[in-house]
Amino acid sequence: MAYFYQDWKDKKMTVEIDGQFMLNFAEAELQMAENLENSAINLREGASDEKEAAIRHIEHIADCLRKGKLELKWNIS
């Protein structure tokens, strides 16, 4: 099966050193950071239902980390 420019032009990809193609999830990472920041704000300043939603979101992220659905990548430079 051949892939053409039109198939990939809107997808963000990077090429690793060994030539392996990897999807770049930078946009998703930024959205996750924003969601965590909003959760922190809701815990500090929100009404009780906003605080409960923030707690559920943080617990969901922790559960995803435990189950391997979410992995952290550290760039050491």
Q: pLDDT-based confidence at 1, cuts 50/70/90?
A: very low
Indicate whether 20 belongs to any domain: no
Is the pLDDT at 23 greater than 70? The verdict is no
Indicate whether 16 belongs to any domain: no
Determine the pLDDT at residue 12. Answer: 56
Indicate whether 19 belongs to any domain: no
pTM of the model: 0.62
Q: pLDDT-based confidence at 5, cuts 50/70/90?
A: low
Indicate whether 49 belongs to any domain: yes
How many structural domains is the chain composed of? 1
Distances (CA, A) of 34 to 67, 71, 77: 22, 17, 24
Domain that holds residue 51: 25-71
Indicate whether 57 belongs to any domain: yes
